[in-house]
């Protein structure tokens, strides 16, 4: 019988509201800093929401004529490739990519609609600028991967599912290496106005730094974020053969659907709990093995309370009280289709460095979110097993499990 193929993380890259690389982002996250501020990319006069978590700008000369969401993706992928020390050209057919998004090139679409209304003309690159799969296409073309290529578009669970798809591809032997993640550049007048009309966004315009407040009783919606993150996933023996540094093992993946509502989670938390349970079963772990959770925690009234309910259902109330849980969207805002990958990268670093990042802006406890949400300050503690939750509009649920890498994982959990 063929030995089970294990999947490890060997590279990370990111562009986020906290920094233009993963090291700066992590340093600021652990320090309790945030990336929110007034929106600068369009005039907000007359809008009910005037704040967001904007990401660092990139040198547009590097990649011409593509939407900003694809630029973010290529930049993050190049960083991850360099961090992993990959030589893609040596075996391009065995290296693939899965790059997700929720909105795709919404900025390009809005701009072309404006041009159409003014001149009755459309730029020939419109379609390839806004199509959601174009970030994945550009990553493949710019880096030269020729293996599996995917582009999940499952709202806020999309990039967690991209990582899960890469995990599956390696486990099944379809690739040796996968560059997986997501990208979003949705801070546009159209998108912000749309989410504001749904009453999904925080209107704390006078206090942008304190607007995203996961699990806090006074949370009033999420703050839109943007950026990209890419993880290099690699089959263990392949990584060993080239002497790659291993950050962590991707040990489990679980998915489910709520089948309940287009925007509201199942109020019982049952769908999310099924995804958590499936990930634990995939990893061969019990709830008591979990040392840390990076929660979806978008800072919405319903969402954070229902996620707490789901965690209790999946892990047990007594067990949950012993597990530190971060809501890192307090610092980054909600990066939509990129959020799952950004938070998966944070989870990898928590496992690698034994540091749990804080939940910032937590001031007033909510009885519906009665958890240890690591308020204000990061903690140094052993993290052997960590969950990363991602839940999206439409009832999409995805959970990733990162485990500290050891040669014999059966000896890791006492």
Residues identified as active-site = 156, 296, 334
| Contact call for residues 71 and 63 (beta carbons, < 8 A) | yes
Give the closest residue to 73 by CA, choosing from 42, 47, 105, 34: 105
Q: Which region holds residue 366: left if phi is over 0, alpha if psi is between -120 and 50, else beta? A: beta
With tokens 């967001």, the residue in question is 52
DSSP 304-348: HHHHHHHHHHHH-HHHHTTSBEE-THHHH-B-GGGHHHHHHHHHH
Rounded Cα distance between 69 and 161, Å, is 18
What is the DSSP pairing of strand 227-235 with strand 177-184? Answer: antiparallel
**Cα gap 390→396, rounded to integer Å:** 8
Q: Which of 265, 180, 263, 195 is nearest to 225 (CA)?
A: 195
DSSP one-letter code for 57: P
Helix, strand, coil percent values for the chain (each to nearest 5): 40, 20, 40
Quote the CA–CA distance of 219 and 315 in Å, as a whole number: 25
Where b means 16+ CB within 10 Å and e means fewer, 156-175 reads bbbbbbbbbbbbbbbbeeeb
Rg of the Cα atoms in the chain:
20
């Amino acid at each position: 019988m063929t030995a089970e193929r294990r999947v490890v993380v060997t590279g990370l890259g990111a562009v986020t509201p906290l920094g233009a690389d993963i090291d700066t982002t992590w340093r600021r996250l652990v320090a309790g800093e945030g990336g929110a501020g007034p929106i600068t990319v369009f005039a907000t006069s007359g809008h009910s929401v005037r704040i967001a978590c904007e990401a660092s700008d990139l040198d547009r000369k590097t990649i011409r004529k593509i939407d900003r969401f694809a630029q973010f993706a290529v930049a993050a992928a190049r960083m991850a490739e360099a961090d992993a020390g990959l030589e893609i050209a040596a075996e391009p057919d065995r290296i693939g990519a899965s790059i997700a998004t929720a909105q795709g090139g919404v900025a390009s679409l809005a701009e072309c609609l404006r041009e159409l209304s003014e001149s009755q003309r459309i730029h020939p690159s419109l379609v390839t600028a806004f199509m959601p799969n174009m970030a994945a296409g550009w990553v493949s073309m710019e880096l030269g991967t020729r293996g599996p290529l995917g582009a999940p578009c499952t709202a806020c669970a999309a990039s967690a599912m991209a990582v899960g798809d890469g995990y599956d591809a390696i486990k099944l032997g379809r690739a040796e290496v996968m560059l997986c993640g997501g990208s979003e550049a949705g801070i546009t007048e159209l998108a912000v106005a749309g989410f504001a009309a749904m009453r999904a966004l925080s209107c704390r315009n006078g206090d942008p730094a304190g607007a995203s407040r996961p699990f806090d009783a006074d949370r009033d919606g999420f703050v839109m974020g943007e950026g990209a993150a890419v993880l290099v996933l690699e089959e263990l023996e392949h990584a060993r053969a080239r002497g790659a540094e291993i950050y962590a093992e991707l040990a489990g993946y679980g998915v489910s659907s709520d089948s309940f509502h287009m925007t509201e989670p199942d109020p019982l938390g049952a769908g999310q709990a099924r995804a958590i349970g499936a990930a634990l079963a995939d990893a061969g772990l019990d709830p008591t093995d979990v040392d840390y959770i990076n929660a979806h925690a978008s800072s919405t009234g319903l969402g954070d309370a229902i996620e707490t309910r789901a965690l209790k259902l999946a892990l047990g109330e007594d067990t949950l009280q012993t597990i530190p849980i971060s809501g890192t969207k307090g610092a980054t805002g909600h990066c939509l289709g990129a959020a799952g990958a950004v938070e998966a990268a944070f989870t990898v670093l928590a496992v690698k460095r034994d540091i749990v990042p804080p939940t910032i802006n937590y001031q007033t406890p909510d009885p519906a979110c009665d958890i240890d949400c690591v308020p204000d300050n990061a903690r140094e503690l052993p993290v052997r097993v960590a969950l990363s939750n991602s839940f999206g509009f439409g009832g999409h649920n995805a959970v990733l499990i990162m485990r500290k890498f050891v040669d014999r994982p059966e000896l890791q959990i006492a």
